[in-house]
Amino acid sequence: MEGKLKALDPRGHFNEIQRAPLSPRLDTLADKTVYIINSWPGETHGFGKVEEALDARLRAKYPGIKLEYRTRMSYSSDDPRLWAELKEKADAFVYFAAPSCSTTACAVTWPARSIERFGTPGVVVLYRYLEKDALISREREGMCIRLAETEFPCTDISREDLDALLGDIEDALFRPLTPEELEEGPYTPAQPGRYCAEGTEDELQEYFQSNGLTDGLPVIIPTEERLKAMLKGTSHAPDEVIASQMAPEGRIVTVEQAAITAVMAGAKPEYLPVILAMIELMGTDQRHHQTAKSTNAFSFMQVVNGPIRKEIGMNDSVCALGPGGRANAVIGRAHRLAMINLGGSEVGVNLMGVMGNNSCYTFAFAENEEASPWAPYSTSLGFQEGESVLSILTGGWSHVGNYMLNPSLEDFYREIKGFEMLMGVTILVSPMRAKELAEEGCRTRQEIEDYFWRKITVRVGDLRSRRVFAPPITQDPLTGESVTEDSVVPLFARNQLHVIVVGDPQGSNVVQGWSQYSPHSTSIDKWR
């Protein structure tokens, strides 16, 4: 009979929550100022019909009411000026979310942190299929932000359902607060225990699958013996905290918990420093909290530089982005398992990718420094040559390539211009193509990045006519002059264009463009 195992619980621990009461409700909106806040610009949020009806209803019912409309250009970032304006002028607010998981979370987060907490009552309007995501954010923020929900899409909402939604919005502004909504002070949710289950290998595999503790693939069952062996990969104490705000839900992670994830992913102990560095990054950069839980199904590109690449056998050559390399596959997979178990990512709750993204399974590789004509990628981020470094870039939902049949790269430039989110691009260059570009005059990494930056351009008028996510362009970055509709400017900010050499030195002159940007890097050596 197969022996039984005790499986260690792989989940991260919750931070203490500081609960705060909602702001007092109003008796009337007559002669009051109500701010209507949109998470997204344009009509893509789908609430236009609701807003129009709300505007008409409030003006008809409440004499002297003043409605102020504000649109957030970045739903995930702080906006102290807007919060200060609301604190000074608003008597109430209605915050419209959008058909997006991360946007809905932020539509709860910012009122809890910066509006209700300072005395302005309000309500968040969201789509019902994203309710669980909103409730998780509400619990994390320690404030029972009131919600008004409707079905998605609501462009064809019936009169009856529209009236009900408008009534819910009004009710949220007037209904007296409940004891739960008045609670305040510290609170810590129930924490996971040392062990989560006991059983045979097959029974535990089923337990991990049915309880959402894997990425859908079988895992190595984490036991005390396997954990002890994994911890030999680092000199750091098991109870040392690596991350206090692990994405996406801001949980606490120790070295030991990270090592449990490494066991589950199939890592060797020598991989552990890279996995610890990864969790450090995912627990310190707030950008990862939003992109980890998007309906757009973002992924994260992990790039390793330095001696550790060869020490642990990472693949930087043939099929480096594909199957076959254990270190690449395991380190990439550990990232997703860490977000699930240590960060609280859950499909159907706060991981709501409409189609998903296959690069979310595993996306880690090493730069081919030996075959590159340029200094390692990590040196462009401020690290020394010879230092082992992990860089995580965000995006991953689109790529273009391979373009080995068009030496001019004209198709490449044209398709990069079609990216919907213009936050940045990472260009993966094969050693053969890198050699050709160096021979053409791009002798340093800065020169090759400048080359691509100047080539990937757009007419300002064409950009403004498209529905894209991009920072507004008001100035030509090359000349410093104000732009006109006919100005042709680089599509991306210079610091959001990255070139990395990877692939078979004997292979074709391939180049790929990935929608990956905003690198966040750390030393791997400190985790040895």
Query: What's the mean pLDDT when you consider all of the chain?
Result: 92
Q: What is the pLDDT of residue 384?
A: 97
Is the pLDDT confidence value at 408 over 80?
no
pLDDT in tens, 202-215: 999 999 999 999 99
Tens of pLDDT along 458-512? 888 887 777 556 566 777 887 888 888 888 888 888 999 999 999 999 998 999 9
Q: Which helix (H) or strand (E) holds 415?
A: helix 410-416
20-46 in b/e form (b: 16+ CB < 10 A) is bbbbebeeebeebbbbbbbbbeeeebb
Q: Is the dihedral of CA 520, 522, 524, 528 positive or negative?
A: negative
Question: What is d(CA 48, CA 57) in angstroms, rounded to the nearest whole number?
Answer: 14
Averaged pLDDT for residues 204-227: 97
Mean pLDDT value across residues 391-397 = 89
Over residues 27-82, the pLDDT tens digits come to 999 999 999 999 987 777 889 999 999 999 999 999 999 999 999 978 888 999 99
Question: Which pLDDT does position 469 carry in this prediction?
Answer: 61
Alpha-carbon span 392 to 283, nearest angstrom: 12
pTM of the model: 0.91
CA gap 147, 108 in Å, rounded? 9
Range among 75-79, 243-247, 404-408 rated most confident: 243-247
Using omega within 30 degrees of 0 as the cis cutoff, is the peptide bond preceding 248 cis?
A: yes
Q: What structural domains and CATH numbers belong to the chain?
A: 17-185 (3.40.50.2300), 197-456+491-527 (no CATH)
Q: Which two tokens stand for residue 455?
A: 């080539």
pLDDT at residue number 1: 42
Give the separation between CA 511 and CA 507, rounded to whole angstroms. Answer: 11
- Please state the length of the chain: 528
Output phi, psi for 469, to 5 deg.
-95, 110
338-352 pLDDT, tens digit per residue, is 999 999 998 888 888
Distant-in-sequence, close-in-space partners of 375: CB < 8 Å, separation ≥ 6:
385, 444, 445
Identify whether the C-beta of residue 288 lies closer than 8 Å to the C-beta of residue 345.
no
Q: Residue 293 — pLDDT band, cuts 50, 70, 90? A: confident
Q: What is the pLDDT of residues 29-41, one digit of tens each?
A: 999 999 999 998 7
Look at residue 33 in the predicted model and tell me its pLDDT. Answer: 98
Task: Phi first, then psi: give them for residue 16, nearest 5 degrees.
Answer: -65, 135
